[in-house]
């Protein structure tokens, strides 16, 4: 991937476009990918050190004028010191499931590192009550393009829920249950912001929040833009 990105930067250089690049991210949410062996005893970040060091050094050698980093999908404050030293940007996503995680559990979906709960049937009654009237039976449903299941790692159940849920009913559940999670979510975000801020200060690099707050929700839902703030 680093070789490919270096080649892309070569392409931009040849066309006088490299000044449009703020920085290069060698991998999106690298802590959540399968390119590096699973956590094992090394934790969430330490296992990434060797591959990320090699990738970042390659890009820095090929394009020393372009800042290089990698993106972490979740801050683990106690493990930040395990990250490689070479990154020139502290780039993180800050997703706090809490209330969305509770909804996923209620409708029988897994979330983050949490497996889907055992259910007697699927869709669960909770999800069935949120579906649009024209929703097909789950047994008859497939994503429009077969590669989506094979290549994204997203289960068919999640595609089905996102494609066929009524966004107003989905949002209503979140609004009705948000109060019980609101303070814990804010406390988590505060902890993550503080830890990443201190990490970036120690490393002497800028910090970037790439995405975040309530994780991804169905296309037309609006909870995150409203009550989730």
Closest CA to 51 of 70, 67, 66, 32: 70
| The pLDDT of residue 25 | 95
Report the length, in residues, of the chain.
229
In this prediction, residue 35 has a pLDDT band, given cuts at 50, 70 and 90, of confident
| The pLDDT of residue 227 | 65
Mean pLDDT, to the nearest integer, of 209-217?
Answer: 84
Mean pLDDT, to the nearest integer, of 206-211?
Answer: 92
- Strand duo 68-69 + 24-25: pairing: parallel
Q: What DSSP string describes 178-194?
A: GGGTHHHHHHHHHHHHH
pLDDT at 148 over 90: no
In this prediction, residue 147 has a pLDDT band, given cuts at 50, 70 and 90, of confident
The mean predicted confidence, pLDDT, of the chain is 90
Task: Name residues whose C-beta falls within 8 Å of residue 130's C-beta, 6 or more positions apart in sequence.
Answer: 107, 165, 166, 169, 170, 173
| The pLDDT of residue 61 | 97
Mean pLDDT, to the nearest integer, of 207-211?
Answer: 91
pLDDT at 53 over 60: yes
pLDDT at 195 over 80: yes
Beta bridge partners of 68: 24
pLDDT at 110 over 70: yes
Mean pLDDT, to the nearest integer, of 6-10?
Answer: 97
Q: Where are the domains of the chain?
A: 2-96+183-213, 98-180
| The pLDDT of residue 121 | 86
Mean pLDDT, to the nearest integer, of 61-68?
Answer: 96
């Amino acid at each position: 991937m680093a070789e490919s990105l270096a080649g892309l930067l070569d392409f931009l250089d040849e066309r006088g476009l490299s000044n449009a690049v703020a920085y290069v991210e060698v991998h999106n949410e690298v802590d959540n990918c399968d390119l590096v062996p699973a956590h094992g005893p090394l934790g969430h970040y330490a296992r990434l050190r060797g591959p990320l060091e090699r990738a970042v050094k390659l890009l820095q050698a090929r394009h020393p004028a372009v800042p290089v980093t990698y993106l972490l999908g979740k801050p683990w404050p106690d493990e930040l010191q395990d990250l490689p030293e070479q990154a020139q940007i502290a780039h993180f996503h800050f997703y706090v499931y809490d209330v969305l995680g509770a909804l996923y559990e209620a409708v029988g979906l897994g979330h983050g590192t949490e497996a889907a709960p055992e259910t007697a049937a699927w869709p669960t009654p909770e999800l069935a009550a949120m579906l649009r009237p024209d929703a097909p039976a789950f047994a008859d449903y497939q994503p429009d393009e077969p590669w989506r299941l094979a290549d994204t790692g997203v289960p068919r159940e999640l595609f089905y829920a996102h494609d066929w849920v009524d966004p107003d009913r989905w949002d209503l559940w979140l609004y009705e249950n948000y109060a019980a999670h609101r303070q814990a979510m804010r406390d988590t975000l505060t902890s993550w912001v503080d830890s990443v801020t201190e990490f970036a200060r120690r490393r002497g690099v800028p910090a970037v929040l790439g995405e975040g707050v309530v994780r991804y929700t169905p296309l037309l839902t609006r909870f995150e833009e409203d009550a989730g703030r």
